[in-house]
Structure 1
Amino acid sequence: MSASAPASAPAYIPESVPAGGPTATELLDFALRTASDPEIVASLPLDPEGRTWIRLDGPGGSEAWLIGWPPGTGTGWHDHAESLGAFATARGRLTERSLAVRLPSEGWRSLELAPGVDRSRTLAAGGGRAFGRHHVHEVLNDSPEEHAVSVHAYYPPLPLIRRYSRSGPVLHLEHVERPADWQ
């Protein structure tokens, strides 16, 4: 990995992570249980063109979301900063593409990724996964015709999301979103 040009986005200085919060495993357990609840899943209005979401009460002060994914939609490359996370597919199939490398949290605009850091997995209904801090990934509904629904949980609640673009092996930091941008 090689870095170029300092980031112009403001540096994120993590606050201390509250003690006693849920672990990634506990977040995954919550996401899997919630994704298997047909009443909760049915409560999400689905839009044929754009993602939809409902905020949920996550365990132990975590942030949780029920998200609908129309065919062909995705998140783009991003991370969740200092938050642990988990997600589970409730309906359809989702593909997660991720990087098996920890990126520096600040001081760069563009990084060339080493070969072999790309990972991909598909999670059908009932499948889920947990991840640690600074996990860079994108989540996609690759289906040309089927809606997907998933449950996501983060702890501590998301302080920010860093958005990236990718050109071959080069990852570019595009912008930083704060909670006010998505709530």
Structure 2
Amino acid sequence: MANEKRAIFAGGCFWCMVQPFDTLPGIVSITSGYTGGNVENPTYRQVTSGKTGHTEAVEIIYDPENISYKELLDIYWRQTDPTDAGGQFADRGDSYRPVIFYIDEHQKQVAEESKRELQNSGKFDEAIVTQIEKAQPFYPAEDYHQDFYKKNSAHYKRYSVGSGRAGFISENWQN
């Protein structure tokens, strides 16, 4: 498709960032991977050591005629705790920090406006600390991380609940 666009979001463990987007109209593909660091083609073990500077993220290829970047951002926010810069839920450290990686100036402007809207909404008492950063090279994660929620659905569900993510989303983002 000639009109495809890219979006890159980090919101803690990438396993939990695929499913919310995966079945939406206009989503072409979602890849779990690593970005923002200083090592080419890092491994999961290297990234989780905290020494590469990378963050777990998802790269979404989408058709903007069927889903807008703003709609993707609205879904992104509802998967995260935007007030926690130190990681997400049970996953702590820089490799799990929440970041919107913008591809171009349009995405940067839309992301900044979306963040302002969330801050001004009063939904959270604390500051919205999710970073908005220029996209860096994106490296796909190992095959066993791709579509984890489908391949290992029982483990994925236990993790989503056990990490605190599912409860947070239910408490803060329903409706």
Assess same fold via TM > 0.5: no
Q: If you compute each CA radius of gyration, which structure gives the higher value, 1 or 2?
A: 1
Identify the structure with the greater helix proportion.
2
TM-score calculated relative to the size of structure 1:
0.28
Q: Structure 1 or 2: larger strand share?
A: 1
TM-score (norm 2): 0.29
